[in-house]
Copies of this chain bind each other. A is one copy, B any other.
């Protein structure tokens, strides 16, 4: 009946995907701390690119700090609605709130007021809610730059930062700035132009999924 031959069993697809990632990126993954390697595998899985691992940068405490914050009920603050939409809510501890900052009321007005993008203004509006939060940026370089300013100028202290802005203007620069700032705040980021909401969401999901869970 079926005219195409393809794998239809979700568990087999999952196993074969991760075996191929291991076969191609194994050595690079083995060089990472074990908990971070698990996250890296999920990121590769989300985008189909095994060379992604070469551009990852993270503090060694990223996974532990993020999980500790979520376990205490810290919110997940995202720049874009797509990031928030990609997070697997059913795997979150009860009561963990997910916010898509760009959808906060007053973003457009704040952007005009501070002379910055709506994405940066959205970080601005989050203000002290950023303290202790897991921040996931999957779209705008200006959101990450604004977050760095708030940390360095206003003393805001997120629990951890997942920095995946994407694109041609400011993306690589904002992620390099996150690394260079050496803030004492745990982070995971991807050097260069690559990034995006699917990767930011995959990073959050990697932190909350039980090991060995397909999706």
Specify which chain B residues have a CB less than 8 angstroms from the CB of A198 in the assembled complex. Answer: 82, 166, 196-198
Specify how many copies of this chain sit in the oligomer.
2
Q: Are A2 and B48 in contact (CB under 8 A)?
A: no
Scoring A residues 10 to 40 as 1 if CB is less than 8 Å from chain B, else 0, what string do you get? Answer: 1001001100110000000000000000000
Interfacial chain B residues near A9, Cβ < 8 Å: 117
A149 to B152, CA, bound (A): 55
State which of B3, B153, B167 has its C-beta within 8 Å of the C-beta of A153. Answer: B3
Q: Would A167 and B115 count as touching, CB distance under 8 A?
A: no
The chain A residues found within 8 Å of chain B, CB to CB, are 1-4, 6-10, 13, 16-17, 20-21, 45-49, 81-82, 84-86, 115-118, 120, 141-142, 145, 148-149, 152-153, 166-171, 173-174, 177, 192-198, 201
Task: Please give, as numbers and ranges, the residues of chain B lying within 8 Å of A166 by CB-CB distance.
Answer: 46-48, 198
Please report the C-alpha to C-alpha distance between residue A96 and residue B174 in the assembled complex, in whole angstroms.
37
Tell me the smallest distance from the CB of A144 to a CB of chain B, in Å: 9
Whether the pair A13, B49 counts as a contact (CB closer than 8 A) is no
CB <8 Å contact, A10 and B118: yes
Q: Are B142 and A8 in contact (CB under 8 A)?
A: yes
Q: Determine whether the beta carbon of B49 is less than 8 Å from that of A17.
A: no
